[in-house]
Amino acid sequence: MTPAIAVTRASKTYRRYSHRKQFATLKSALLTRSLISNLRPDETFTALTDVSLTVPKGRTLGVIGRNGSGKSTLLKLVAGITKPTTGTVRVDGRVSALIELGAGFHPEISGRENVFINGIMLGLSKREVTRRFDDIVEFAEMREFIDAPVKTYSSGMYMRLGFAVAIHVDPEVLLVDEVLAVGDEGFTHKCLDKFADFKRRGKTILLVTHSLGLVERFCDEALWLDGGRIKGSGDPKRIVGAYLTDIEHREEQELAAGDSRARESASAAAVSPDEPAAAVLPDTPVESVTAPADMFRATEGRWGSREVEITDVTLVSGDGQAGHVFQSGEPLEIHIQLRAPLPVDDFVVGVGLFNAEGICCYGTNTSIEDLSGERLLGDAEAVFAIDALDLVEGTYKLDVGVHKEDGFPYDYHRLLYTFRVKSRAKDVGIYRPTHTWRFSGDITFKTPP
Amino acid sequence: MLHNLAQLPRYRGLIQSLVARDLKARYRGSFLGFFWSFINPLLLLLVYTFVFTFVMPASQDPRITPYALFMFCGILPWTWFASSLLESSGVLISGGNLIKKVLFPAEVLPIVTVLSNMVHFFFGLVILAGFLVYYHRPLHLSELAVFPLVVGIQLVLTTGFALILSALTVHFRDIRDILSNLVTFWFFGTPIIYPYFLFADHTWQARLLRLNPFTHLVITYQEILFFEGPVGHLKWLLVLGAISVVFFLFGYSVFDRLRDSFAEEV
């Protein structure tokens, strides 16, 4: 059996606009006799490189990838809107592409007339549109507005009508580009039901989406594009997992880069660590020695006398790896490296956790927990160990500080460390108490497939 | 190219409904609606009549009297031609959404432009016919038989131009600006407001006029609708017909060659 979609070593190169090109006109083209050569690209951007894939009839393929990874280009190639620069694309059967909904709607004429024209544009005959007209209007939930000009429609109505027409073309191959966000929850469910119906009837679907859950639930196979190349394909769960790991890895790098930038600028502003003695002289009240008046308003920064210095802070996950991205519920350790050139007996080590809105999620120190400092000299390490990181998904920032019992700061690092908590559950709030659900009586839930 | 050309009849339904949409959308929201298609040429003819009767009674030449009617016979087809050219030059860009996001046969757009302007031309003909009867101009069946031929040739020729212009304008946007000036120049280079016989056959002006394809169309229209006697320009018209078909094929091949670039350039 021939596959519904067969893409063989397809590459797509776009011409990139430069200023010189943009202002190239007919006149200059004629003057420099470059009329023909100007029609050939010279500065190019490769959106897809050597992509091969086959989708057998009746299968659903989910395409995932970061923005700009070539997903939409692939869809346009399969739809036949653009041609591959090299390689071939073959599609068996009538294609309908849900790329731009309601493209070609004319604002001045009624929804009814637009449905007809749009249907004909998408390859139906007038009779076929007439036969499906009621279904289309019903699906779009537009019965009362169908005779009003399209310019009076809300954007949601516009999209719904466009979607309804496109889906009723009854294609063999359906291409969907991130269009499920067109309506309210109810409409989205209707769309998904319609897709499921397509699947049952043995139609082929190519789905481009950022909704990974949809790919896992709905697709038979997943394709992961990265930088215009196929980075993986196969079982949706496996591919989505690999994709998520890659995203974490990238976020990790970004956070690490961000952290080091924050620390650099903080150190530059603070007192030079080489001359800690100068900072404690009573006559030189350097701003960075004292804490800001309102601790909870303060933004990132570093201050303190440096009699005790925090030389390094690392976040270590349960498996002993230092990192910036952690799973909710897993163990997390904050390793704080301390250094005191001279012996110190009055010291408190503290940490504070803030979420992205700047709300303090948790804060504590050794003094609060009835540990009073006795002696600190040379290099030392303090580890704040969390058994289970029960935070909801989000980005968090960390305060780490060493100060006297009375609050005089030795070294205070304000929001200089960033980490991200990942979670499969999209619960809300700040804190996730360890919990389970229990039910009794006549109440049951569907078990997920 | 020939394969794509053979597909063209399949888009009949699409072209039909798009032309109908164009016509509907044009006057939607105006009080008189569709009647403007008749009123516009009527008012134009009245203005010409007024100007050339009272303001500057120009020509005393009895052969082209009433002058307004003579002029109108040329202006109607010219308007179809000129509007088609001007509108089609921008039609791929304004229809960019369709070309970029939907699998859509791009040549439909310039063709629809030419056809909806043709429909307006037909509306104008109704008004013209009324005045021809009013002025007791002789209309012979033998002459009227040529009419579909000249309309057909103009259609083929105009479509050829529309295809080339729409495709090239995607790459060279300045065509749109140059074009309106060129069209004005072309208008005066065509015997519409002056009769062709103003120049003797062997003069350079007459030779120049004969190089202009639209000259032959206009002369035929005038011979059918305005002048008495048989259509003497038929030979020229047939030659132009052959050239028009070749030109249309050339235009289509230019369009077809540039087709793949549209989705990226518009």
B88 occurs within a structural domain: yes
Mean pLDDT of B89-114: 87
Residue A178: its pLDDT value, please?
A: 75
Whether residue A276 lies inside any domain: the answer is yes
Find out whether A215 and A201 touch, Cβ atoms under 8 Å.
Answer: no
Same domain, A237 and A276: no
CB contact under 8 A, B17 and A116: yes
Where residue A403 sits, what CATH number does that domain have?
Answer: 2.70.50.60
**Pick among B15, B18, B19, B21 to test the A interface (most A CBs inside 10 A):** B21
- State how many domains chain B has: 1
Closest Cα to residue A256, out of A322, A301, A309?
Answer: A322
In DSSP terms, which residues pair with A338 in a beta bridge? A310, A380
Asked if the structure places residue A264 within a domain, the reply is: no
The DSSP 8-state label assigned to residue A34 in this structure reads -
Q: Is residue B12 part of a domain?
A: no
Position A445 in a domain? no
Average pLDDT, chain B: 87
Q: Quote the tokens at residue A230.
A: 């196929």
State residue B89's pLDDT score: 92
Structure tokens that stand for A129 in this block: 């549109």
* pLDDT confidence of residue A303: 86
pLDDT at residue number A380: 92
Q: How far is A16 from chain B (nearest CA, A)?
A: 10
Which has the closest alpha carbon to B251: B122, B188, B158? B158
Per-residue pLDDT tens for B119-161? Answer: 999 988 988 888 888 888 877 888 888 999 999 999 999 999 9
> How many domains are there within chain A?
2
Which own/partner pairs from B193-201 qualify as long-range (CB within 8 Å, at least 24 positions apart)?
Answer: B193/B71, B193/B74, B195/B61, B195/B63, B195/B64, B195/B70, B195/B222, B196/B222, B197/B63
Q: Are A73 and A129 in a shared domain? A: yes
Contacts of A46 (CB under 8 A, 6+ apart): A11, A12, A13, A14, A228
Q: Which of B17, B97, B265 sits opposite A120 (nearest CB)?
A: B17
- Rounded to whole angstroms, how far apart are CA atoms A11 and A27? 33
pTM over 0.80: no
Amino acid identity, position A185 = E
Any domain includes A432: no
Would you say A299 and A414 are in contact if contact means Cβ atoms under 8 Å apart? yes
CA distance B2 to chain A (A): 18
| SS3 (DSSP) at A330 | coil
Q: pLDDT, tens digit, for every residue of A275-295? A: 443 333 333 333 455 555 555
Last residue of a domain, one of A228, A245, A262: A245
> Is A38 near chain B, with CB under 8 Å?
yes
Q: Which residues, at least 6 apart from B102, have a Cβ–Cβ distance to it below 8 Å?
A: A81, A97, A99, A100, A103, A104, A121, A122
Per-residue HEC secondary structure of chain B comes to CHHHHHHHHHHHHHHHHHHHHHHHHHHCCCCCHHHHHHHHHHHHHHHHHHHHHHHCCCCCCHHHCCHHHHHHHHHHHHHHHHHHHHHHHCHHHHCHHHHHHCCCCCCHHHHHHHHHHHHHHHHHHHHHHHHHHHCCCCCCHHHHCCHHHHHHHHHHHHHHHHHHHHHHHHHCCCHHHHHHHHHHHHHHCCCCCCCHHHCCCCCHHHHHHHHCHHHHHHHHHHHHHCCCCCCCCHHHHHHHHHHHHHHHHHHHHHHHHHHHHHHHHC
Which residue in A has a C-alpha nearest to residue B26's C-alpha?
Answer: A108
Residue A284 pLDDT: 32
pLDDT at position A279 is 37
Q: Does residue A258 belong to the interface with chain B, where contact is any CB pair within 8 Å?
A: no
Q: Which of A15, A26, A121 sits opposite B102 (nearest CB)?
A: A121
Calculate the alpha carbon distances from B146 to A315, A444, B42, B149, B158 in Å: 90, 82, 25, 5, 18
Contacting residues of A for B265, CB less than 8 Å apart: 15
Among the partner residues B25, B103, B168, nearest to A79 by beta-carbon distance? B103
Contacts of A104 in chain B (CB under 8 A): 95, 97-98, 102, 104
Place of tokens 């004909």: A120
Percent pLDDT > 70 in chain B is: 98
Instruction: Give every residue of chain A whose pLDDT is below 70, as ranges.
Output: 16-43, 179-183, 267-299, 448-449
Query: Is A40 contained in some domain?
Result: yes
Same domain, A178 and A320: no
Residues A45 and A135 in one domain: yes
Are the C-beta atoms of residues A289 and A271 closer than 8 Å to each other?
Answer: yes
For residue B118, name the pLDDT band (cuts at 50, 70, 90).
Answer: very high
Q: Are residues A189 and A315 in the same domain?
A: no
Q: Hey, how many other C-beta atoms are within 10 angstroms of the C-beta on A320? A: 7
Please check whether residues A198 and A284 belong to one and the same domain: no
User: B37 or B155, which is more confident?
Assistant: B155
Assess: ipTM above 0.90: no
The answer to whether residue B2 is domain-embedded is no
What is the C-alpha separation between B117 and A152, in angstroms, rounded?
A: 28
Q: What are the phi and psi torsion angles at A418 (to 5°)?
A: -120, 140
Range of the domain at B136: 37-265
Q: Is residue B8 part of a domain?
A: no
H/E segment holding residue A76: helix A71-79
Q: What is the pLDDT of residues B165-212, one digit of tens each?
A: 999 999 888 888 899 999 999 998 999 988 888 888 888 888 889 999
A residues 144-173 lying closer than 8 A (beta carbon) to B: 149
Q: Do A100 and B264 touch (CB under 8 A)?
A: no
Of the pLDDT bands very low, low, confident and very high (cuts 50, 70, 90), residue B104 is confident
A-B Cβ pairs (cutoff 8 Å, strict): 77
Which residues have a Cβ under 8 Å from the Cβ of A443 and sit 6 or more positions away? none
Expressed as residue numbers, the domain containing A170 is 5-245
Task: Classify residue B28: in a domain, yes or no.
Answer: no
Question: Which residues in chain B have Cβ-Cβ distances shorter than 8 Å to A27?
Answer: 174
Using the beta-carbon criterion (under 8 Å), do B102 and A97 form an inter-chain contact?
yes
Closest Cα in chain A, distance from residue B213 (Å): 24
**Sheet of A44-55, strands arranged across:** A44-55, A5-15, A86-91
Residue B254, classified by CB atoms within 10 Å of its CB into exposed (0-12), middle (13-18) or buried (19+), is middle
Residue A36 touches partner B, C-beta closer than 8 Å: no
Residue B16 placed within a domain: no
Q: Does A76 fall in a domain?
A: yes
In a domain, A267, yes or no: no
Residue A124 has a CB neighbour count (10 Å cut-off) of 23
Say if the Cβ atoms of A103 and B101 lie within 8 Å: yes
Residue B82 lies in a domain: yes
Nearest-Cα residue of chain B relative to residue A80 = B103
DSSP letter at A322?
Answer: B
pLDDT recorded at residue B179:
93
List the 58-97 stretch of A: residues with Cβ below 8 A of B.
Answer: 76, 79-83, 95, 97
> Does residue B29 lie within any of the structural domains?
no
| CATH number where A157 lies | 3.40.50.300
Contact A347, A309 (CB under 8 A): no
Cβ <8 Å between A121 and B104: yes
Q: Is A56 helix (H, G, I), strand (E, B) or coil?
A: coil
Length of chain B measured in residues: 266
Residue A150 lies in a domain: yes
Average pLDDT over residues B223-233: 84
Query: Both tokens of residue A391?
Result: 């935070």
Residues of B with CB under 8 A from a CB of A: 13-14, 17-18, 21, 24-25, 28-29, 95, 97-104, 168, 171-175, 178, 258, 260-261, 263-265
